């Protein structure tokens, strides 16, 4: 059954909320403001009761799959459990009711939280200092690329406009570097799936500004040659950017700063357990090495004795990247997670994330083609290429088949260097039983592919809607509801 | 020991055996030994849930709450209870971006409803799924204009927009050949004459904000014609609450409407999350940044929703995408959607007009009874700017008595250190407003 839109439930005269009565004089608006400013058009908003609202959204939530409903091995997205205490502390009135332009003296709690979170994240990543302003990973990448620019401007090296990005990188990497004013050159992977040091050498020309890497890469492989790569890039006068999407593999084990990176963004909504909220709000803090500290956005948060203050006095800063201080509600939850886990827990989290991934990989690789057959980090990539050729079952069919088992599919068709890719990231918060259930499900799907492939082509059957017509959505875009 | 880590010693042993290694350390063998972290991270060890609660509660209590008359982009409006109950539904907040449409109809439909609500309010034809905040939305809107007017290289920005929006734009375009120029203001609103002086076909977009940073409403009569005669795009940023009684961006002839939806169902939360909204005409649909949800059908012919027009986006187009945005503010956008659906048009008009009436009531008392002067003689919605002698001291004294009396504009404009912008919402009772006036009377010398 398709679900009504809230607009289709509307009935003239209903309301879901009662405002207090107006207790100051109710003077005609046009006596107080130029009537040419007043609105005449009447928007069509729903008129529903509070009961309608809660049933509508509760109904919608039943048509949505969240991590709390089941396994969510969406590669590169680190769908780990979102602890409930974080939601509780996130809604403390001493946080929610604070205005961003209150006096410094009245927001010491927030400033301390920003300071402490920046300090912890700097330690975890091996960096010097950072900013929590960026609202999401891509926003962090953009901030990092602006830091590159500021650095080269200061050194009078603005001819450095080339940023190297692996073909397997997240799409945001080249997009972020481009809007920051760089041009992109792709780096090819070698037969190991790693950055080819030999071809990298040829790309390190005079105009190179740096390189953006995810390590472990989107293939779930650690770039073993990272020390050499960092040396080469620095020698060529470039900088190294670390896409922290895969930080969940290495906390307490190895730090991007120690690998030689100059800038890193983190996705707090991945590694640091804050919820993804169906696509946001997230948070993409940026941490930097010593050489880039002066360029960080304003305001910075500093400590003077017992007092915290906002520092705008940074001559070389790239400026503001967001309206205020970032998605504070997300930062509060991430801080709660950091102190919950501590140095010992964060390390264990990464160890178990890698353990879980390798276990799944071993269990599945006999049946599904493991594209790079080696030890993986927190995720690994299977290829359905053979299945497609031999059985006509694609990665998409497998993904849709999984939906009927109450499992969220892996990331599919990414990274593009693996044909029919299925990128699986179990995370550390899943038990062996859950992993075993996933293995059993995948094996059943494989069997189905052999015995009854039609069933997979037609999957899913038990979901609120079945496969949707994406082409029609593009060809005849309907992007809002229209009153009949 | 760690409640989010389910692995037992037995599990670990069995799993290592399946993998064929002796220890977890063996799984990290690809990390060069020189850089392996040999000492623990220099942060404290983990603590219990109760200790975490105490620590965070302690921090939250180091922030001071008070009676708020602060605005300038973040407002203390009433939030119906039902909003936060919806946000706590786990299948919403623990979901990722709705890539798998079949099991993401809830989020997709809520975004489709949000897009519709934004279009209804702004009067525009299409909206995206949300941006980070109203400030970054300005950069995205300007980018749309630059992609539309490829040969134009100037952007004209009113001197009355929020200084933080201006700062975000400056950062965004600082390494871009485009020139960001300020349109002169007259009596604290944008001067149409000044715009006429400077605009020509080298301009890609004109950005104005109403109500502006001072709270004054901009009479934008004639702006759209002038801007369009010069082939530029008109971008209007508005506090969406003001659209409950004031003209919409479409009414003014805007090409792109932007702003932040924080006044709709989101607490001030030290500035975030808010939600950036962006809406435009169908002609510019394919130039929009970020996610867009469209309606379609499933194989059985049932109505369904899906992320669409993705050929604009970074995961497909990479460096040629219209924007780098990936994550947006989905759950916060849902809060605004729930808010608007709950209060309806009548409720929105009530919130907007009560905010208006209460702000005008306070304005009248402060100017007539206390003799305070406005910074300019202009119309306003729910905030206004007064000249308050010794503003810093006055604000501090008011604060020490539990009232956040306004935003000192000196922090943005060094030459206006006695200008204070005061915002009033429907949440402030007459009693609270009267108390404000009494306190102010005592504090002023």
Q: How far apart are the first and last CA of chain A?
A: 20
Please tell me the predicted confidence (pLDDT) of residue B314. 86
Please tell me the predicted confidence (pLDDT) of residue B228. 98
CB B58 within 8 A of CB A332: no
Of the three residues A24, A48, A63, the one that is the final residue of a domain is A63
Burial class (CB in 10 A: 0-12, 13-18, 19+), A115: middle
Does residue A174 sit in the same domain as residue A253? Answer: yes
Does residue A330 sit in the same domain as residue A359? Answer: no
Q: What angle do CA A466, A471, A475 make, to 5 degrees?
A: 135
Burial class (CB in 10 A: 0-12, 13-18, 19+), A40: exposed
Does residue A264 sit in the same domain as residue A401? Answer: no
pLDDT digits (tens, 9 = 90+) for A345-385: 999 999 999 999 999 999 999 999 999 999 999 999 999 99
CB A100 within 8 A of CB B74: yes
Within A223-382, residue ranges assigned H as helices are 226-235, 256-259, 328-364
Does residue A322 sit in the same domain as residue A411? Answer: no
Q: What b/e readout covers B138-156, taking b as 16+ CB neighbours within 10 angstroms?
A: bbbbbbbbbebbeebebbb
Nearest CB to A37; choose among B297, B331, B379: B379
**What's B353's DSSP letter?**
H
Does residue A134 sit in the same domain as residue A269? Answer: yes
Q: Which of residues 7-36 of B touch A (CB under 8 A)?
A: 7, 11-12, 14-16, 18-21, 24, 26-32, 34-36
Does residue A328 sit in the same domain as residue A360? Answer: no
Q: How far apart are CA A140 and CA A264, in angstroms?
A: 8
| Average pLDDT, integer, range B154-165 | 98
What CATH number is associated with residue A277? 3.40.640.10
B147 touches chain A (CB under 8 A): no
CB A174 within 8 A of CB B326: no
CB contact under 8 A, B171 and A321: yes
Does residue A174 sit in the same domain as residue A281? Answer: yes
B45 touches chain A (CB under 8 A): yes
Beta-bridge partner residues of A244: A266
Answer yes or no: is A78 within a domain. Answer: no
Taking the alpha carbons of A17, A22, A26, A30 in that order, is the dihedral positive or negative? Answer: negative
Burial class (CB in 10 A: 0-12, 13-18, 19+), B350: buried
Q: Which of residues 415-444 of B touch A (CB under 8 A)?
A: 426, 429-431, 433
CB contact under 8 A, A340 and B52: yes
From A391's Cα to the closest Cα of chain B, the distance in A is: 22
Please tell me the predicted confidence (pLDDT) of residue B106. 97
CB A361 within 8 A of CB A370: yes
Answer yes or no: is A483 within a domain. Answer: no
Does residue A374 sit in the same domain as residue A438? Answer: yes
The DSSP element (H or E) to which B314 belongs, if any, is helix B314-317
**What's A344's DSSP letter?**
H
Answer yes or no: is A479 within a domain. Answer: no
Please tell me the predicted confidence (pLDDT) of residue A115. 98
pTM of the model: 0.97
* ipTM score: 0.97
Does residue A357 sit in the same domain as residue A286? Answer: no
- For chain B, give the number of residues: 445
B192 touches chain A (CB under 8 A): no
Answer yes or no: is A306 within a domain. Answer: yes
CB contact under 8 A, B379 and A269: no
Two tokens, residue A108 = 């010491």
Instruction: Please give the residue of chain B at the shortest CA–CA distance from A107.
Output: B63
pLDDT digits (tens, 9 = 90+) for B31-61: 999 999 999 999 999 999 999 999 999 999 9
CB B426 within 8 A of CB B263: no
Nearest CB to B127; choose among A20, A107, A480: A480
A49, A95, A181, A280, best to mutate vs chain B, most B CBs in 10 Å: A280
Average predicted confidence (pLDDT) for chain B: 97
pLDDT digits (tens, 9 = 90+) for A210-224: 999 999 999 999 999
Q: What b/e readout covers A146-183, taking b as 16+ CB neighbours within 10 angstroms?
A: bbbbbbbeeeeeeebbbbbbbebbbbbbbbbbbbbbbe
Of the three residues A341, A374, A401, the one that is the final residue of a domain is A341
Burial class (CB in 10 A: 0-12, 13-18, 19+), A469: middle
pLDDT at A456 over 70: yes
From B383's Cα to the closest Cα of chain A, the distance in A is: 13
CB contact under 8 A, B102 and A137: no
Two tokens, residue A482 = 């229209």
Spell out which residues of chain A touch residue B95, defining contact as CB-CB under 8 Å.
Answer: 64-67, 276-278
Indicate the pLDDT class of residue A155, thresholds 50, 70 and 90. Answer: very high
What CATH number is associated with residue A431? 3.90.1150.10
Closest by Cα among A482, A35, A37 to B248: A37
Q: What angle do CA A241, A246, A252 make, to 5 degrees?
A: 95
Taking the alpha carbons of A391, A392, A395, A396 in that order, is the dihedral positive or negative? Answer: negative
Indicate the pLDDT class of residue B425, thresholds 50, 70 and 90. Answer: very high
Closest by Cα among A64, A308, A50 to B94: A64
CB contact under 8 A, A322 and B32: no
Spell out which residues of chain B touch residue A61, defining contact as CB-CB under 8 Å.
Answer: 89-92, 106
Taking the alpha carbons of A129, A135, A136, A139 in that order, is the dihedral positive or negative? Answer: negative
Place of tokens 């409407």: B257
Q: At what angle do helices A432-451 and A395-403 cross, to 10 degrees?
A: 120
Two tokens, residue A175 = 């997009």
Closest by Cα among B344, B260, B93 to A57: B93
Does residue A360 sit in the same domain as residue A275? Answer: no
Answer yes or no: is A482 within a domain. Answer: no
pLDDT at A46 over 90: yes
Two tokens, residue A319 = 């400026």
pLDDT digits (tens, 9 = 90+) for B110-156: 999 999 999 999 999 999 999 999 999 999 999 999 999 999 999 99
Cα-based distances in Å from A9 to A47, A52, A56, B1, B297: 8, 8, 9, 49, 21
Those residues whose C-beta lies under 8 Å from the C-beta of residue A34, and which sit 6 or more positions away, are B217, B219, B379
Closest by Cα among B252, B227, B249 to B240: B249
A26, A59, A64, A427, best to mutate vs chain B, most B CBs in 10 Å: A64
Q: How far apart are CA B400 and CA B65, in angstroms?
A: 11
> Number of residue pairs across A and B with CB atoms under 8 Å?
692
Alpha-carbon Rg for chain B in angstroms: 25
pLDDT digits (tens, 9 = 90+) for B196-224: 999 999 999 999 999 999 999 999 999 99
From B349's Cα to the closest Cα of chain A, the distance in A is: 10
CB contact under 8 A, B63 and A27: no
| Average pLDDT, integer, range A35-56 | 96
A179, A244, A313, A398, best to mutate vs chain B, most B CBs in 10 Å: A179
CB B223 within 8 A of CB B183: no
Residue A31 domain boundaries: 6-63
Spell out which residues of chain B touch residue A176, defining contact as CB-CB under 8 Å.
Answer: 324
Q: Which of residues 358-417 of B touch A (CB under 8 A)?
A: 358, 360-361, 379-381, 395-396, 399, 404, 407, 411
Share above pLDDT 70 across residues of chain A, in percent, rounded to a whole number:
99
Q: How far apart are CA B350 and CA B345, in angstroms?
A: 8
pLDDT at A1 over 60: no
pLDDT digits (tens, 9 = 90+) for A157-182: 999 999 999 988 899 999 999 999 99
Does residue A232 sit in the same domain as residue A179? Answer: yes
Give all domains of chain B, ordered by start, each with its CATH number.
Answer: 9-60 (no CATH), 67-76+345-443 (3.90.1150.10), 81-339 (3.40.640.10)
Share above pLDDT 90 across residues of chain B, in percent, rounded to a whole number:
95
Nearest CB to B271; choose among A224, A275, A325: A325
Nearest CB to B308; choose among A124, A259, A474: A474
Torsion of CA B267, B270, B276, B277, to 10 degrees: 30
Q: How far apart are CA A356 and CA A362, in angstroms?
A: 10
B3, B16, B41, B108, best to mutate vs chain A, most A CBs in 10 Å: B41
Phi, psi angles (nearest 5°) of residue A296: -55, 155
| Average pLDDT, integer, range A254-270 | 98
From A423's Cα to the closest Cα of chain B, the distance in A is: 14
| Average pLDDT, integer, range A467-475 | 96
Answer yes or no: is A116 within a domain. Answer: yes
The DSSP element (H or E) to which B239 belongs, if any, is none
Answer yes or no: is A150 within a domain. Answer: yes
pLDDT digits (tens, 9 = 90+) for B280-333: 999 999 999 999 999 999 999 999 999 999 988 888 888 888 899 998 999 999
The domain tally of chain A equals 3
Please tell me the predicted confidence (pLDDT) of residue A2. 63
Q: How far apart are the first and last CA of chain B?
A: 60
Two tokens, residue B65 = 């709450």
Please tell me the predicted confidence (pLDDT) of residue B33. 96
Q: Are strands A307-311 and A300-304 parallel, antiparallel or unpaired?
A: antiparallel
pLDDT at A187 over 60: yes
| Average pLDDT, integer, range B395-417 | 97
Does residue A244 sit in the same domain as residue A123? Answer: yes
Of the three residues A291, A316, A341, the one that is the final residue of a domain is A341
Instruction: Please give the residue of chain B at the shortest CA–CA distance from A104.
Output: B63
Spell out which residues of chain B touch residue A62, defining contact as CB-CB under 8 Å.
Answer: 91, 106
């Amino acid at each position: 059954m398709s679900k009504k839109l809230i607009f289709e439930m509307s009935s003239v005269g209903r309301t879901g909320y009662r405002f207090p009565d107006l207790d100051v004089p109710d003077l005609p608006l046009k006596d107080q403001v130029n009537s040419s400013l007043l609105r005449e058009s009447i928007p069509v908003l729903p008129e529903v009761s509070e009961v309608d609202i809660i049933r509508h959204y509760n109904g919608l939530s039943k048509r949505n799959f969240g991590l709390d409903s089941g396994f969510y091995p969406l590669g590169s997205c680190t769908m780990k459990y979102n602890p409930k205490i974080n939601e509780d502390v996130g809604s403390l009135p001493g946080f929610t009711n604070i205005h961003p332009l209150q006096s410094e003296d009245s927001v010491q709690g927030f400033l301390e939280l920003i300071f402490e979170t920046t300090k912890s994240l700097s330690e975890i990543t091996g960096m010097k200092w950072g900013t929590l302003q960026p609202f999401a990973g891509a926003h962090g990448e953009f901030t990092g690329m602006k830091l590159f620019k500021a650095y080269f401007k200061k050194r009078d090296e603005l001819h450095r406009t080339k940023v190297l990005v692996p073909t397997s990188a997240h799409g945001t990497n080249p997009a972020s570097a481009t809007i920051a004013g760089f041009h992109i050159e792709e780096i090819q992977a070698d037969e190991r799936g790693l950055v080819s040091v030999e071809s990298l050498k040829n790309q390190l020309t005079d105009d190179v500004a740096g390189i953006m890497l995810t390590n472990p890469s989107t293939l779930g492989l650690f770039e073993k040659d990272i020390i050499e790569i960092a040396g080469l890039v620095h020698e060529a006068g470039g900088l190294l950017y670390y896409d922290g999407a895969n930080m969940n593999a290495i906390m307490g084990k190895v730090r991007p700063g120690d690998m030689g990176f100059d800038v890193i963004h983190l996705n707090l909504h991945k590694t640091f357990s804050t919820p993804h909220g169906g696509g946001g709000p997230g948070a993409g803090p940026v941490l930097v090495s010593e050489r880039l500290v002066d360029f960080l956005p304003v305001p910075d948060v500093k400590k003077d004795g017992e007092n915290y203050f906002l520092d705008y006095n940074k001559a070389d800063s790239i400026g503001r990247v967001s309206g205020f201080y970032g998605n504070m509600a997300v930062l509060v939850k991430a801080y709660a997670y950091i102190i919950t886990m501590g140095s010992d827990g964060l390390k264990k989290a990464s160890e178990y994330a890698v353990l879980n991934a390798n276990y799944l990989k071993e269990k599945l690789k006999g049946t599904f083609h493991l594209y790079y057959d080696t030890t993986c980090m927190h995720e690994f990539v299977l290829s359905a290429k053979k299945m497609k050729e031999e059985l006509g079952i694609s990665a998409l069919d497998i993904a849709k088949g999984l939906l009927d088992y109450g499992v969220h599919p892996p990331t599919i068709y990414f990274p593009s260097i693996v044909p029919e890719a299925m990128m699986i990231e179990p995370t550390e918060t899943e038990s062996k039983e859950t992993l075993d259930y996933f293995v059993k499900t995948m094996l059943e799907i494989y069997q189905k592919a052999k015995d009854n492939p039609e069933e997979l082509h037609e999957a899913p059957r038990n979901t609120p809607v079945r496969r949707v017509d994406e082409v029609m959505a593009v060809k005849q875009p309907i992007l809002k509801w229209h009153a009949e | 020991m760690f409640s989010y880590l389910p692995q037992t010693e037995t599990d670990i042993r069995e799993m290592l055996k399946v993998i064929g290694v002796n220890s977890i350390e063996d799984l990290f063998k690809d990390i060069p030994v020189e850089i392996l972290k040999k000492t623990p991270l220099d942060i404290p060890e983990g603590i219990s849930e109760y200790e975490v609660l105490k620590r965070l509660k302690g921090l939250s209590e180091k922030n001071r709450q008070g009676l708020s008359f602060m605005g300038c982009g973040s407002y203390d409006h009433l939030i119906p209870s039902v909003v936060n109950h919806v946000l706590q539904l786990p299948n919403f907040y623990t979901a990722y971006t709705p890539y798998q449409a079949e099991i993401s109809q809830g989020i997709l439909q809520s975004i489709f409803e949000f897009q519709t609500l934004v279009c209804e309010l702004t009067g525009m034809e299409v909206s995206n799924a949300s941006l980070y905040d109203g400030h970054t939305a300005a950069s995205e809107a300007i980018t749309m204009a630059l992609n539309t007017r490829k040969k134009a290289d100037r952007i004209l920005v009113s001197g009355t927009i929020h200084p933080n929006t201006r700062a975000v734009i400056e950062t965004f375009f600082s390494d871009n050949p485009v020139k960001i120029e300020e349109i002169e203001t007259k009596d604290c609103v944008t001067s149409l004459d000044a715009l006429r002086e400077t605009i020509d076909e080298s301009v890609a977009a004109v950005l104005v904000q109403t109500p502006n940073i001072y709270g004054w409403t901009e009479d934008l009569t004639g702006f759209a014609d002038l801007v369009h005669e010069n082939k530029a795009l008109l971008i209007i940023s508005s506090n969406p609450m003001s659209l409950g009684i004031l003209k919409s961006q479409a009414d003014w002839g805007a090409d792109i409407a932007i702003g932040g939806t924080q006044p709709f169902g989101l607490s001030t939360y030290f500035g975030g999350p808010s939600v950036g909204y962006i809406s435009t005409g169908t002609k510019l649909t394919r130039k929009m940044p970020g996610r867009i949800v469209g309606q379609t059908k499933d194989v059985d012919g049932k109505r369904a929703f899906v992320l669409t027009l993705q050929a604009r986006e970074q995961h497909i187009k990479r460096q040629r995408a219209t924007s780098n945005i990936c994550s947006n503010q989905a759950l916060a956008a849902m809060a605004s959607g729930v808010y608007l659906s709950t209060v309806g048009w009548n409720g929105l008009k009530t919130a907007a007009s009560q905010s208006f009436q209460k702000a005008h009531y306070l304005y009248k008392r402060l100017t007539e009874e206390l003799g305070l002067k406005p910074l300019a003689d202009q119309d306003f919605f729910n905030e206004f700017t007064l000249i308050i002698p010794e503003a810093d001291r006055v604000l501090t004294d008011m604060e020490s008595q539990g009232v956040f009396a306004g935003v000192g504009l000196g922090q943005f404009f060094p030459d206006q250190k006695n200008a204070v912008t005061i915002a009033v919402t429907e949440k402030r009772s007459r009693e609270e407003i009267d108390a404000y006036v009494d306190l102010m009377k005592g504090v002023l010398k």
